[in-house]
Structure 1
Amino acid sequence: MSSSNIRDKDEALKDWVSRLPDDILVNIISRLTLKEAARTSVLSSRWKYLWTYASNLNFDASKLLVNVYEETIEEERLRYMCWVNKVLESHKSLSVNEFIIVFDLDDSHESNISHWVYTAISKRAQKFELNLFPALCWPPASGIYEFSQGCYDYLKSPCGLSRVKSLRFLYFDTVNVTEEILEFFINNCPNLDDLRVGRSDNLLRLKVVGSLLQLKCLHIDHCNNLEELEISCPSLLSFKYFGPEIKLHVKNVPQLVDVLIGGGHGIGKGKVIGPIVNYFPQLKTLELHVELNEEILQFPECDLPELRHLMFMLVHLIVAASLV
């Protein structure tokens, strides 16, 4: 083999990736799952700790819950919490793009969950998702995790206020949060553009009001004790509500183009749809999940010149009666 061929072979075998700057390597690692990222530590001494600076902390292990059983769920929960805590103990970056928790946990795991909330905020997460929806039964046997007063007090502190400002996406599912806590995030996170809340029994009322708000998406799902929702947000593009009948007040949403309404009795009678009828002419997407009866099928008369997608999800209620 000629010397030139040997040189060409040596060039091909060189590890060019490892020659890249650390910040580029960390960016590459951040696109892997956490388990894949951790495996890169065995490549060489230089790679050993690079994964601990990953900017995406995605602890979504919901796929593991597909085949979980009652007799094994607690073991899976312990394994999940150990995994999250072990990664966080090793993680060295002061800021992250996303911090995602998705697993079946309840109020009996309060100390671990609250610690993760502190960590997400302290690392200036831009996307924070806390989804504790149960795999086996509803409601959770030990109760829904409640956003603690300690976490809220931390958020209101000068340290918490400075770090929460990075938040752009916030999603709570099967987490009890109050009006006060959600409105804190709404009013103190200038970059927040996506807020989603599901299955919060403590949420009774909510105001999403402010001419300076940057919020573009507001989704409220199965908050079954919600009584009243007020929206006045000029930046809002998407509003989705699925739940019981509520008092809905909507004004100053000139950019609203995407609406989904469903779930409660009386939705089709105008009690929930009524407040947004004035904005129908600007909508591009409209989905209505309603009960199948004559009264509800009386769609309001209006022009829909911009509409591109219309869906009616009709639910037929079957009432069983026993004859004695």
Structure 2
Amino acid sequence: MGRGTKAARTIRKKDQLIELPDGILSTIISMLPLKEALRTSVLSKQWRFIWNNHSGLWFDSDNVLGRVVSSSSISELEIKTETCKDSAPHLDEWISSAIRMGVENIDLDLSASCIFMVDHSSSTASEEYEFPTQLLAAAGKKCCVKHLQLTSCSLISPPDSYSLTSLITIQLENVNVSDEQLESFLSSCLFLEGLSLHLCNHLVELDFVAPNLRLKRLSVHDCFRLQKMELRAKNLALFEYTGHLIFFHFKDVPRLAEAFLNFTVDSRLDGAAYALTKFVSDVPQLETLNLVSVLAMKMLDLPETVPTFTNIRELALTIFPFDDEDKLCWSNYVLKNFPLLHKLQLNLFCANFIKQPKEIERVLRNCPHYHLSELEINGFYGNHHEQVLLKYLLDNLVELKVLAVSPCQKVYSGFNTWVYEEANLWYKDRMESVCDWLDAVVPPTVRLEIR
């Protein structure tokens, strides 16, 4: 084949490729990793700038950190890398460039960082990368960042005159930020709807008191130095907390309808008792309570004389572990003190082997419940104590319409999302007998769903 013929065919192939519609080319580019998308710029003159259609930038320690790439627009910037003393200017430049290009999502993860040491007059101190918040509110420039996720860095609030009007959600994990800095930062986020704080161990007293705060979802997990939290957020609808029992003050939360609580360390017992007594009393408009009880329910000492909580419509209890030593007193407490409950969800975590049932003295008084119509039990393997619990509930839930039973364990993963874990393999050997038992004890007026 002659050289001219080869060249002509090559040109025709290039022409056919470049003649694809822009939408198809953009789709092809967006499906490539950033490094591969950049490589397409050397295919031909026509392809030199097509990679600009890539809508997301993802960088890690093996990527092209240190080079600034110009693009018409991007929607997402994700950086997961190690930092060292010389990398901060590069990070600043990438973030600044992304903001200029109209990025909406920023995810900065420096959890694998090598914290470097700086000499200050014969003393040493570790330094963390400071996220340049002032770039989100640069004077005379429109910022499009809606979702900000920071991991393992420092957050310094911008000057008081700055307004961070574009931010809708913020997630901070292992971020160095003080009470005052966070309060100042949030006061600038006029349209913020979701805030998540995880392992932010410089926080001691949280005051959400910004008069214009539109916060709807608040999640605080494992901030171990936290001692107090005061909530004055008129739009707050969902509150999540994991950690030791602290002082809570709910002053102005008229729309707070859902809450998730998981008390840890030495406050498991006191925290579970607080959740089922004072908490539901302090938030009278609360409708859904999701409580995780670890090593607490079988030892829980609940008061005999407490007011009934007529606000709660849905109660989810995760009990770990749930074993045959549980006297089930809490089940009588729930039926008695939550008289208008419509749905009860029990997520049971039993041992992964079959125990011999123990002779446990259980005194469970009859307590007819006339509103609960839906009962869901997950992690049900048909062990003796599980059968005792279910039989007691069936005897007292007068208006029960639906009973859903599953051996799969159900785990809460935040912001109204759940994940299912597969049932233990040994359950397959007894599944048929468990189903037969359920068919025998469930009244014909109740729809039984075995999942």
| TM-score normalised per structure 2 | 0.49
Question: Is the 2:224–2:243 Cα contact (8 Å) retained in structure 1?
Answer: yes
Could you tell me which amino acid in structure 2 is paired with residue 279 of structure 1? V
Shift of 1:189: 0.9
Aligned to 1:126: 146
Aligned to 2:130: 114
Distance across 1 between alignment mates of 2:214 and 2:50 = 39
Aligned to 1:54: 74
Distance across 2 between alignment mates of 1:121 and 1:33 = 30
Question: Is the 2:177–2:202 Cα contact (8 Å) retained in structure 1?
Answer: yes
Report the CA distance shift for 1:91/1:286 in structure 2 as closer, same or farther (over 3 A).
closer
Could you tell me which amino acid in structure 2 is paired with residue 128 of structure 1? L
Question: Is the 2:160–2:188 Cα contact (8 Å) retained in structure 1?
Answer: no
Alignment of 1:56-135 (within 5 A): 56-60=76-80, 87-88=94-95, 91=98, 93-102=100-109, 103-105=111-113, 107-108=115-116, 113-114=129-130, 117=133, 119=135, 123-132=143-152
Residue 310 (1) aligns with residue 316 (2)? yes
Q: Which runs of 5+ in 2 are unaligned?
A: 1-14, 55-70, 118-125, 323-451
Report the CA distance shift for 1:41/1:243 in structure 2 as closer, same or farther (over 3 A).
farther
Instruction: Return 294-303 or 175-184, whichever deviates more.
Output: 294-303
Residue 270 (1) aligns with residue 274 (2)? yes
Could you tell me which amino acid in structure 2 is paired with residue 277 of structure 1? S
Shift of 1:203: 0.5
Report the CA distance shift for 1:54/1:29 in structure 2 as closer, same or farther (over 3 A).
farther
Q: Any idea what SS the aligned residue of 1:176 has?
A: coil
Aligned to 1:289: 293
Residue 156 (1) aligns with residue 162 (2)? no
Shift of 1:127: 1.1
Question: Is the 2:232–2:253 Cα contact (8 Å) retained in structure 1?
Answer: yes
Shift of 1:113: 2.5
Residue 169 (1) aligns with residue 174 (2)? no
Instruction: Return 224-233 or 30-39, whichever deviates more.
Output: 30-39
Higher helix share: 1
Could you tell me which amino acid in structure 2 is paired with residue 93 of structure 1? R
Identity %: 21
Question: Is the 2:115–2:128 Cα contact (8 Å) retained in structure 1?
Answer: no
Report the CA distance shift for 1:201/1:287 in structure 2 as closer, same or farther (over 3 A).
same
The higher-RCO structure (CA 8 Å, 6+ apart) is: 1
Could you tell me which amino acid in structure 2 is paired with residue 113 of structure 1? Y
Report the CA distance shift for 1:15/1:30 in structure 2 as closer, same or farther (over 3 A).
closer
Q: Tell me how large the CA RMSD over aligned residues is.
A: 4.0
Report the CA distance shift for 1:239/1:197 in structure 2 as closer, same or farther (over 3 A).
same
Distance across 1 between alignment mates of 2:165 and 2:28 = 26
Q: How many residues align?
A: 267
Could you tell me which amino acid in structure 2 is paired with residue 247 of structure 1? F
Aligned to 1:14: 19
Report the CA distance shift for 1:171/1:246 in structure 2 as closer, same or farther (over 3 A).
same
Question: Is the 2:217–2:236 Cα contact (8 Å) retained in structure 1?
Answer: yes
Question: Is the 2:151–2:175 Cα contact (8 Å) retained in structure 1?
Answer: yes
Larger Rg: 2
Instruction: Return 286-295 or 85-94, whichever deviates more.
Output: 85-94
Distance across 2 between alignment mates of 1:37 and 1:97 = 20
* Per-residue deviation, residues 33-52 of structure 1 (Å, max 9, x unmatched): 65565456456023154443
Question: Is the 1:261–1:273 Cα contact (8 Å) retained in structure 2?
Answer: no
| TM-score normalised per structure 1 | 0.66
Q: Any idea what SS the aligned residue of 2:100 has?
A: coil
Q: Any idea what SS the aligned residue of 1:270 has?
A: helix
Shift of 1:216: 0.6
